[in-house]
Amino acid sequence: MVPKKKIDSILTGYDKDDITVATLCSHSSLQIFHGARKAGFKTLGLTVSHNTKYYDAFPLAKPDEIIKFRDLDEIDERVGELHDRNAVVIPHGSFVEYMGPKKFEELEVPAYCNRAVLQWESDRDMERQWITSAGVAMPRIYTDAREIKEPVLVKYHGAKGGRGFFIAKDYPDFKMYIDNTQPYTIQEYVLGTRYYMHFFYSPFKEDGYQVSRGGSLELLSIDRRDESNIDELYKMGSYDDLKKHGLYPSFVVTGNIPVVIRESLLPKAFDMAERIVNRSYELFGGMWGPFCLETIVTDKLDFKLFEISTRIVAGTNPFISGSPYADLIYPGMSTGGRIAKEFRDGLAAGKFIDLMT
């Protein structure tokens, strides 16, 4: 991981009145550039093979400049060009995924995140340790498949977007479909409704919902992911019948739907987010900025948290002009806009450097 000292020395050389907000041209970049432009920052798109003509269709979200790289490794070789522009990068799901968490950790450009979080997020066991030791409930794990007594979801490690996951009702079902050549985890299948809650934690904001370690927690929006084919599979008949025909569920995200949760669930949602933030500081120096809690609510109105995304998620994209929650804090503001506001506030308070690793 690039030492924080190295990042601090790069930032010390930056002209703080001329910061450029940079990110990879994909995922939530329209929202990030739109928010940064509104806050008066220069914007820089980083791209490899991606066709960037679509930005012409969205002039308010088009970056001021685009740099095309041979491949993502070349960013490393050309970091000087980013330093020359006083650039800070905003990680999003595709940026970290395409580059790989290890390479991202080594990128010698100030990044708006704590890079130490990447290891805790990308290792399922470490992520579970973080969540459970924070006192937040997760779906149960089975270490012995013979003990399966309820529907479970079998997750192959590294199965992107849930491809190849399968649901087993009991042990014989599991034995029939398991591919023992790949590592996997067996998780209780939580029956309920999914909510992907987009929080933002500011370590230095002094009003709003204060967390016990200091700083302020905001809920900016919530989405539910449209997942293909699981969301439509029920139309084709019984799941067991479909398996006989070689049809299995997949959980590939194809879209995002805005949702709100019943108001009485909000205290539980904030409690969970606060615990996750507090524990992140105890374990690895903290998680700040945007993050998403991926949850399922059961019919007992209990949350089960199955994953944390430790950065801006694509589920925030429906909320470019605000949300039922953001509008009660900053009317009309997106998560991309909130990031830019944090930069402005950080610069004004002399704390910008603390936001970067």
* Footprint on this chain of ligand ATP (rule: CB under 6 A): 139, 153, 159-162, 187-190, 194, 225, 227, 251, 253, 294, 296, 306-307
The span from the CA of 146 to the CA of 144, in Å, is 5
Residue with smaller CB distance to ligand ATP, 201 or 251: 251
Residue with smaller CB distance to ligand ATP, 193 or 210: 193
Least distance (Å) between residue 253 CB and ligand ATP? 6
C-alpha distances (whole Å) from 29 to each of 36, 125, 148 are: 10, 30, 42
The span from the CA of 13 to the CA of 333, in Å, is 31
Residues 6+ apart with CB under 8 A from 32: 21, 23, 90, 92, 312, 336, 339
Residue with smaller CB distance to ligand ATP, 62 or 225: 225
Residue with smaller CB distance to ligand ATP, 8 or 188: 188
Least distance (Å) between residue 140 CB and ligand ATP? 9
Least distance (Å) between residue 139 CB and ligand ATP? 4
Residue with smaller CB distance to ligand ATP, 159 or 329: 159
Residue with tokens 């930069």: 343
Least distance (Å) between residue 159 CB and ligand ATP? 5
Helices marked H in the chain — which ranges?
Answer: 4-12, 29-38, 72-77, 79-84, 93-99, 101-106, 117-122, 124-133, 171-177, 230-233, 239-244, 266-284, 335-349
Residue with smaller CB distance to ligand ATP, 124 or 351: 124
Least distance (Å) between residue 9 CB and ligand ATP? 34
- C-alpha 283: how far from chain center: 19
Least distance (Å) between residue 236 CB and ligand ATP? 18
Least distance (Å) between residue 187 CB and ligand ATP? 4
The span from the CA of 324 to the CA of 295, in Å, is 19
Which two structure tokens, joined as six digits, stand for 183?
């590592």
Residue with smaller CB distance to ligand ATP, 88 or 190: 190
Residues 6+ apart with CB under 8 A from 247: 233, 236
CA angle 86, 92, 97 (to 5 degrees): 115
